[in-house]
């Protein structure tokens, strides 16, 4: 279960989330709907620990979500707009993923690169949108 309590996030003077309270039960399919700027992506980025909330708490299966909590490893955020380090290649992202994800499986990463016929030395910004999506989903499917 995901329990969100009094979550608030502002950017300069703009309020992205204001005192959000939400509970998502186990085994539920849950959708976030709202207009552009409603805070959907901000909420997901906070859940993935890409952003920090200004205030509030998140609990997953009763454990508080922090940068060091075990439940953090269960979350991966895949945005429509991919960001990679300037000049990054699959090879440089491999090193990054190995440092960021303790259960990262190098052999499976290399096998998937081969299966998808992705060049490990080619700069990611030159990949097609479909290739980028396949590549960016690797961390979530490569945990042991």
Domain spans in the chain, listed from the N-terminal domain onward: 2-74, 90-141
The whole model's pTM is what?
A: 0.63
Q: What are the C-alpha distances in Å from 91 to residues 28, 58, 143?
A: 36, 34, 18
Query: How far is it, in rounded angstroms, from Cα 46 to Cα 7?
Result: 9
d(CA 106, CA 97): 9
Architecture label for domain 2-74: 3-Layer(aba) Sandwich (3.40)
> Where does the pLDDT of residue 116 fall: very low under 50, low under 70, confident under 90, or very high at 90 and above?
confident
Is residue 60 scored above 70 in pLDDT?
yes
């Amino acid at each position: 279960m995901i329990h969100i309590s009094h979550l608030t996030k502002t950017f300069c003077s703009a309020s992205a989330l204001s005192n959000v309270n939400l509970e998502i039960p186990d085994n539920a399919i849950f959708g976030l709907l709202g207009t552009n700027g409603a805070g959907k992506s901000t909420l997901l980025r906070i859940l993935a620990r890409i952003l920090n909330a200004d205030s509030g708490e998140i609990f997953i299966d009763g454990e508080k979500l922090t940068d060091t909590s075990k439940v953090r490893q269960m979350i991966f955020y895949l945005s429509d707009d991919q960001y990679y380090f300037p000049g990054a290649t699959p090879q440089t992202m491999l090193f990054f993923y190995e440092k960021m994800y303790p259960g990262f499986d190098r052999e499976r990463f290399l096998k998937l690169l081969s299966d998808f016929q992705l060049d490990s030395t080619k700069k990611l910004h030159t990949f097609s949108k479909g290739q980028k999506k396949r590549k960016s989903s690797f961390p979530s499917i490569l945990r042991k």
